[in-house]
Structure formats: structure tokens, C-alpha cells
Structure 1
């Protein structure tokens, strides 16, 4: 269990250049991200009016989930704490706009600017923080 990323270090440390490339080259990860992103879009229940929506991918990493958003005709902004992951996204020439940032600090966007948000794997980073807090309290 200790080899899971959320137990090794926070995402800004764990997701270095090597890990970012490894993550993005895994066909299993790519398939899982696409499937979960499709489901996230279904759950958003966006109006089917033919108008592209502006979505935020919180914890976008290398843009795997964002590709699904693009394939479904949407525009997107990707936010991630790992510059290494975003560099891979840039190399892959994803269609979204990319921002380095900590989702815990907010997005800095006015209300009503975006039509929805997804976050596929980013919650794992919270586990590291939670475990650290539990260890302090124990």
C-alpha cells in the first residue's frame, strides 16, 4: 500500500518529470481517465443545445481527462499543482488552457464564468494531507 502516490508524497513532489511521463504513457491509465471523464460529463448533465461549454478540469495533470472534454466539443481550463504534469500536457499539445495552481486556493474566476467542473484523480492528493493530520493526532 505504501507505493500508492498519495502515501509517498504530496502531488507537487511526487509528480516529478519522470512520474509525469510514466503516468501519461500507461495505456491502462489513459483508458481509465477517458472512461471516468465520460462518466463525469454524463453526471454534469450539461444542456444538449449544441453550444460548447467552458469546463474546468481540477487536477488536470497531463491533460488526459481534458482530451475527453475536447473530443466532446467543449473548451476547458486545466488546473494542476504539478508543473511537471502540465509540461507533459504542453508537449502533448492538449487543447485546454493550463494553469499551475493549488485547488485548495480556489480558481480566482468570477461566478458564472464556467459551465461546470470535473476532477478525476486529484482527490488522491487530499489523502496524503489527511494521513499526515491523522498521524499528528495519533
Structure 2
């Protein structure tokens, strides 16, 4: 009787384990495919979010730039580091006398605006 019980138990365990082991490979590959798909979706979402942030930053940066050809002395003094109302007025006077700027680098021709001040503010300038 004991012999029959052990054999039955071994067969039962063998049959119970057999389907699990045969299902394990497809299940893990399915999990891998699902995980891969989820990772790709997450990666795409991160890329889209980064792109949106970059676009928003670029748009914001463009809005924060001051136009050398249209800004008032007050606008220039608020937007540019190291430029107060007096230097802002000097820039406006230079623009009035010499005509509109054709390159932002021309700002260095304005008395009181040197290379270091220009470099510090170059990213804040537009024509």
C-alpha cells in the first residue's frame, strides 16, 4: 500500500510540475515582451516629456530675450545684467543715431559695453 502511495505521489508531483515547467518558458518570454513594451512606452513618454520641456524652455527663453532694435532703455535695464537705465539710454541713443542693429555683436560698439558685458548678456539678446 505504501508503495502505491509513493508512486501516486511521485506521479502527481511529476504531472503537476510538468505543466508548470512547460508553461514557464512561454510565460517568461511573454513577461519579457510585456516588460520590453512597457519600457519602450515609458522611454517614449520620457522623450516626449523632455521634448515638451525643451520646447517650453526655448519658447520661454525667446520671450525673455530683449530686442536691441525695439526695446526701451527701461526694458534693456531690466533684461540685461550689468545694464542700468543710463547704459540702456546709451544703447537707445546709439541705435537712434546709427540705425537699427543688424547683428547683436554690434552692441559692443556702444560706448560702455565691452566684450565681457556682451558675453554675459548675449543669450538674452535678439534683433
Same fold (TM over 0.5): no
* Larger relative contact order (Cα-Cα within 8 Å, sequence gap ≥ 6): 1
What is the TM-score normalised by the length of structure 2? 0.22
Normalized per residue, the structure richer in strand is 1
What is the TM-score normalised by the length of structure 1? 0.21
